[in-house]
Amino acid sequence: MSKTFFIDTTRCTACRGCQVACKEWQGFEGNQTKQVGWGSHQNPPDLNPKNYKVVRFSEQKLKDRVAWNFFPDQCRHCVDPSCKYPADEYKKGLVILDEETGAVIYTDACRDMPKDVFQQMLDFCPYNIPRRDEKTGVINKCDMCVERVKEGLVPMCVKACPTGTMNFGEREDMIDLAKKRLGIVKKEFPEAQIIDEEAVRVLYLVAYKPETYFKTAAAKPGTFDVTRKEALAKMGQSFRNFFRV
């Protein structure tokens, strides 16, 4: 049975323990960041090759209250990962869907991928996740800490979370837990929902509409409606353009 994260954002305090633990486990150095001038305590401003995870901050003025919505953003390990289509079309085996865990993994060989193919991977991702280090060519994102998971451990972000926001386990168990929490949270927050439940292996429970957390908290409209055939047709056109230059 595949694994799944359950991220209960109603419990998140934005301590960023998950974000830091991820960086430490991956051995990533700190980013040069700027706290002042863009009106947010979020840091860094976006995902980047040294941050597989970013806790997004969004201050919202709602009808009867002000809400500070926190959203630990990361790869959703999609059930049918659309970022894999262009990669496979270019060369099979660069992006792997691990059968045992369901993790979507970018291999080191992705670094040789042409710019156009990477751009297609990014365009096809409903959540704007993959990032590339322009100096080294490395393409990366969350790998589910798959080496830990295969040893029976949980991903580092889950291990570090002190509030119960980050959960990880068998898919059925996480779906059950998410639904149980949704039932409780809905009593106070009628708009509460689990985002894109069927399509992803990272289930987010949010108290308000997903777009009040971040613009791609939920999948871009229509992205899961693109059939594989349509996707390949689009890519074929683009590859032809690419190889003409």
Residues 211-230 that bind ligand SF4 (CB under 6 A): none
Q: Which of 22, 47, 54, 78 binds ligand SF4 (CB under 6 A)?
A: 78
**Sign of the CA dihedral 42, 9, 122, 26?**
positive
| 155 lines the binding site for ligand SF4 (CB under 6 A) | no
Parallel/antiparallel/unpaired status of strands 104-106 and 95-97: antiparallel
Q: Which of residues 6-35 bind ligand SF4 (CB under 6 A)?
A: 12-18
Question: What part of residues 38-77 is at the interface with ligand SF4 (CB under 6 A)?
Answer: 55, 72, 75-77
Cβ closest to ligand SF4, residue 139 vs residue 182: 139
Long-range contact pairs involving 117-122 (C-beta distance under 8 Å, separation at least 24): 117/86, 117/87, 117/89, 117/90, 120/85, 120/86, 120/235, 120/238, 121/83, 121/86, 121/87, 121/95, 122/83
Applying CB under 6 A, among 117, 154, 156, 166 the residue interacting with ligand SF4 is: 166
If we measure between CA atoms, which residue out of 50, 4, 16 comes closest to residue 177? 4
Residue 165 sits in the site that holds ligand SF4 (CB under 6 A): yes
Q: Which is nearer to ligand SF4, 100 or 190 (CB)?
A: 100
Which of the 8 DSSP states describes residue 211? G
- Residue nearer to ligand SF4 on the CB measure, 125 or 154: 125
- Is residue 118 close enough to count as binding ligand SF4 by CB under 6 A? no
Chain positions contacting ligand SF4, by CB under 6 A:
12-18, 55, 72, 75-78, 81-83, 104, 125, 127, 129-130, 141, 160-161, 163, 165-166
